[in-house]
Amino acid sequence: MTPMAATERTCRVTRNKSAVDDARRFAELAVAYCDVDCRQAVAMVVSEFAENLVKYSAKDDQVYAGTISILREGGVVRIRAKNAVASPDEGRRVQEAITRIATSPSITELYRSRLQELFKNPQLPRAQLGLLRIAFEGGFRLSCSFEASVLEITAERACLTQ
């Protein structure tokens, strides 16, 4: 018998007030058969991605902010967030942040250092903790591409079934 190919599930993230909660429920269903660590981690990543899509994606599409896809295959879960960015600078800023996280020798130190910055400068307008938290708490490897105003962030990690 040929094993069934894994199916990637995709959720379109709306601009509604309930968008983050809806995306989180989508995540919980998509990995309901996985172990508790993986379920918690995937729900956290999808919430952070959804919040970022709603906050920072280009506002050209009044209804949808972007998409989030989840694929579990071969013991690895892969989550992709895709959206049009408001400006090229925004796309480059995210690319740089992900490169910094992906190449850091210690994600714990990077996370601690960001919390220290926020602690010392409570007036900083943006926390910018979401991507860091995905790597630090969730244990995900982050990568991204940015082409023709479209940003795609990918988060991957091992994920066991129950």
Partner 1 sequence: MAVPVPGPLKVDSLLVELPRADQLVMTGSVANPAIQAQLARYLESVHAHVADKRLSAFAVDVKGLTFVNSSAIRVFVDWISRAQGAGYKLVFHVDRSITWHRLSFSVLKSLAPSHVEVTEASATGAA
> Which residues is 82 bridged to in the sheet?
67, 152
Query: DSSP letters along 115-149, please?
Result: HHHHHH-TT-S----HHHHHHHTT--EEEEEEETT
Compute how many residues bind partner 1; rule: CB under 8 A: 30
Tell me which stretch binds partner 1 (CB under 8 A): 12-20, 66-74, 81-89, 91-99. 12-20
Report, in Å, the least distance between residue 119 CB and partner 1. 5
Q: Residue 148's closest CA among 58, 97, 88? A: 88
| Gap between the Cα atoms of 69 and 80, Å rounded | 5
Beta bridge partners of 76: 73, 158
Q: Does 127 bind partner 1 (CB under 8 A)?
A: yes
Q: Does 122 bind partner 1 (CB under 8 A)?
A: yes
Q: Which is nearer to partner 1, 51 or 61 (CB)?
A: 51
Of 87-116, binders to partner 1 (CB under 8 A) are 108, 111-112, 115-116
Strands, sheet with 141-147, edge to edge from the N-terminal-most edge strand: 9-14, 64-73, 76-84, 150-158, 141-147
Helix (H, G, I), strand (E, B) or coil at 97: helix
The least CB distance from residue 99 to partner 1, in Å, is 19
**Binding pattern to partner 1, positions 25-54, x when CB under 8 A?**
------------x--xx-xx--xx--x---
Written as six digits, the tokens of 121 are 């400068």
**Site residues (CB under 8 A) for partner 1?**
17-18, 20-21, 24, 37, 40-41, 43-44, 47-48, 51, 55, 108, 111-112, 115-116, 118-119, 122, 127, 129-130, 132-133, 136-138
